[in-house]
Amino acid sequence: MTETKDLSIEEDGEIGIVRLDRQAKRNAISQAMIAEIGQLFAAPPEHWKAAILCGAGPHFSAGLDLREHGTRSVDAVMDLSRLWHRTTEAMLNGRLPIVAALNGYVIGGGLELAAATHIRIADRSVRYSLPEGRRGIFVGGGASVRVGRMIGTSRLTELMLTGREVDAEEGQQIGLSHRLVEPERAFETALEVARTVAANAPQSNRMILHGLAQIGEMPPSAGLFAESVMVALTQADPEAQERLDAFLTKRTR
């Protein structure tokens, strides 16, 4: 296991396990932590084929470390927001599928970080909220774009204006999580999912991560053309041919 000031990093075969590790502060996200996460996912270990992002202890993250935030100038706050954006872009647009294991508080910046993962597994202890309005601030880690696209701008507006708490079941219904599991089962389930994802051909995973997001922004005709290019490139990969041959051989036995 590798430990830094704010993260603990383990491995399960080809899967990286990245834990937010500031339990005394409910894994509140410091500037140092978000920078470390960005550096890690911008250049993950070569042998990793998927990653899990989780929190140490009973909470995923209670959000931004506001003790740091209160003393910053306008320029410093904007710089921090852009650091968050670079980090979450490295997560979403890197080469690794990232599975989030969510428990306890997933608040503010914690929700923004979770929204930058590709698959989110929540247990029934999860409580989401975006309380920035109550603190006199605004989201700065991507929620206005990513959470809005997950649940819709109208619903995001309501959550931000009220700052209300969303329980795990409602979060599942509105699209904050992909799967809802019993308490203390989020990590176990995330590991199962990560193993399944890691077993895919890396080129296929990369096309899924990058291609679908880009196609979603295109007009239909351009999206269909991009799809044809991606299937051609993917199928031309030697590993794809090996997997197809193995599948066909198995079927003819």
Per-residue DSSP letter, 61 = B
**C-alpha separations of 186 from 38, 58, 94, 196 in Å:** 23, 11, 23, 15
- Residue 3 belongs to what H/E stretch? strand 2-3
Would the CA dihedral through 17, 18, 21, 27 be positive or negative? negative
Query: CA 235, CA 18: separation in Å to the nearest integer?
Result: 32
Tokens of 142: 């991507």
- Closest among 220, 100, 185 to 150, alpha carbons compared: 100
Tokens of 5: 């000031």
Query: CA 165, CA 24: separation in Å to the nearest integer?
Result: 22
- Give the catalytic positions in this structure: 112, 132
